[in-house]
Amino acid sequence: MNEAALLSYLDPMSAVVYAFLVFGEVPGVTTAIGGTLILLASALDVMRR
C-alpha cells in the first residue's frame, strides 16, 4: 500500500517529463518548484521508513 502512495506522488512528475519529451513543452518555474517539492516529499517519506 505504501508503495502505491509513493508512486502516486511521482505521477504528476512523469506527466511533465512526458510532455517535455513528446511535445517539447518546457516546464515553467512554478512547475519546476512543484516538482522539486514532490521529489523532496517522496525522498523524505522513503528515508523516514
User: What is the DSSP code string of 1-49?
Assistant: -HHHHHHHHHHHHHHHHHHHHHH-PPP-HHHHHHHHHHHHHHHHHHHH-
| Per-residue model confidence (pLDDT) at position 23 | 95
Tell me the pLDDT tens digit for each residue of 2-44: 677 777 777 888 888 899 999 999 999 999 899 889 888 888 8
| Per-residue model confidence (pLDDT) at position 1 | 53
| Per-residue model confidence (pLDDT) at position 39 | 85
Tell me the one-letter amino acid at 20. F
Which of 42, 17, 21 lies closest to 31, judged by CA? 17
| Per-residue model confidence (pLDDT) at position 29 | 95
